[in-house]
Amino acid sequence: MWTNNYWTFTYRNTLASISNDFKSTDEYESETTESKGLPSTYLNNALRTQLLLLDYKQFKAARIIQKTFRGWRVRNHMVKQSNAAEIIQRVWRRYLVGRNLQMIAEEKVQQSMVILFNSSSIKIQASFRGWWTRKHVNNTSYLHTLQLNAVQYILYEMIGSLHTMKRSNVLPGISTFYNQECMDKVQNLLSTLSYRMYNEVVARRQLRANFVLRKIWRCGKNRSYILWCPIWVLAVIRRCITLTWDPPQRTLRILVW
């Protein structure tokens, strides 16, 4: 606004100075007629030409002034707009970067927390599964105890059956814990392999088995002896055993095949 007023004031002063340089037509006519004695028509034409030239010069000067002013104003306005746009863009980019940086920082913190919780949960689950497996699945001490109890139960059952067979004078037979089909197969196999009783090795093994069985019979209530009996006796007992009772000699024979 101040620039517009300044240029308007300057333009008016210029026009006033130009108009002051030229005299009015009446004064000029009086001076020329008095001094030179020229006719009035010639003077009028000359004055008209000078006025036309003056108007043209004033028009051209005004146009140059207006062109210069408009160019300056437009350039100044464009510079101001460019500076304002740069400032606005810089501030806006700074705001966007700050907001995105905060969001990225929050996402990174959340991801790190999720990873930490996941790893912690995996460690806890692995520790619990290992503890549960060692306690219930791979408990070797408990399994060893179960095996010893099973062996003791088998020995007690065999001793009871032998005692019953001895006191009741039952016929020779087969005592087994297998099913009926397996027992039938064993009986057929025994009937076909009865000649092995005459073998010296089998007879010697049978003698040792009879000796151990008599010892077990005498110490049937001795738990320590039953628990720490030889391993081959346990292997024999776990298999299908043929128990033969001989009433005249009152002995119990063990047939091992």
Tell me the per-residue pLDDT of 137-151, one tens digit each, with 9 for 90 and over: 777 777 778 778 887
Tell me the percentage of the chain whose pLDDT exceeds 70.
Answer: 50
Q: Which residue has the tokens 């304002």?
A: 84
φ, ψ (nearest 5 deg) of residue 221:
-90, -5
Tell me the per-residue pLDDT of 202-218, one tens digit each, with 9 for 90 and over: 667 777 777 777 776 66
- Exposure on the CB side of residue 202, measured as CA atoms within 13 A: 12
158, 175 contact by CB (below 8 A): yes
162, 252 contact by CB (below 8 A): yes
DSSP assignment, residue 138? S
247's tokens: 């009433």
For the chain, what is the mean pLDDT? Answer: 69
Note the pTM of the prediction, 2 decimals.
Answer: 0.27
Instruction: Map out the domains of the chain as residue ranges.
Output: 2-100, 141-255
Of 184 and 27, which is predicted with more confidence? 184
